[in-house]
Amino acid sequence: MNKTNFTVEALCVGAMCIALSFALSFIKFVQMPQGGSLTPASMLPLMIFCYIYGMKKGVIACIAYGLLQLLQDSYVVHWAQLFLDYILAFVALSLAGVFKNAKAGKVNTIFFGIILASLGRFICHDVSGIIFFAQYAGGQNVIIYSSVYNSYVLIEGLLCMTVMLIPQLNKFITKRRLEARGE
């Protein structure tokens, strides 16, 4: 833990963000047949944590969340698929922390973090779909099938960006990020 310099505050905020993401993941707008679901921006609390505290701390929080998802609603056909869909895909959400140290300016970098994190998670699920779920494609091109199937991740990313358009939330998160950086 010393290498990531977790403070009590970071641990508490991380636990709250994991819990909020997990609670939101139970509300499913669309449940996909071989796993995955469209939720009301359940990725956002984790991405906010990563954006405020950075990728190192974010990776730990995202692994914890991925393991909770594995317990909640798993669909596992192979150990490598488990790694892609439940560990690596959620670790990809920590990419929202890439912009932790970006200078505050006219452009709010959390939107770039959300895009990067959503694309990272999408790619992990897409590769898993191409390799391990090809039999469900029928006569379709497996790459197109997997990309369409996993597009719910990109839609959820758009939902997260939409929620971040709330001015008060955006202002609060920007302020918290600067405070966490010591500014």
The residues facing 66 across adjacent strands are none
Sequence ranges of the domains in the chain: 8-181
CA angle 12, 6, 103 (to 5 degrees): 95
Give the per-residue pLDDT at 177: 87
Count other C-beta atoms under 10 Å from residue 71's C-beta.
9
Phi, psi angles (nearest 5°) of residue 5: 55, 55
User: Which token pair is 12?
Assistant: 């508490």
Query: The tokens 């970071």 sit on which residue?
Result: 10
pTM to 2 decimals? Answer: 0.91
Give the per-residue pLDDT at 91: 98
Give the per-residue pLDDT at 169: 93
Q: Which residues of the chain have pLDDT under 70?
A: 1-4, 104-107, 183
Is CATH 3.30.300.130 the classification given to domain 8-181? no
CA atoms of 112 and 99, how far apart (whole Å): 8
B/e letters for 23-59, b = 16+ CB within 10 Å, e = fewer, are ebbeeeeeeeeebbbbbebbbbbbbbbbbbbbbebbb
CA atoms of 20 and 1, how far apart (whole Å): 23
Count other C-beta atoms under 10 Å from residue 168's C-beta.
7
* Residues with Cβ within 8 Å of residue 60, at least 6 apart in sequence: 4, 14
Give the per-residue pLDDT at 166: 94
CA-CA distances (angstroms) from residue 139 to 88, 90, 144, 145, 146? Answer: 29, 30, 11, 10, 13
Dihedral (CA of 122, 127, 133, 138) sign: positive
- Give per-residue pLDDT as tens, 132-162: 999 999 889 999 999 999 999 999 999 999 9
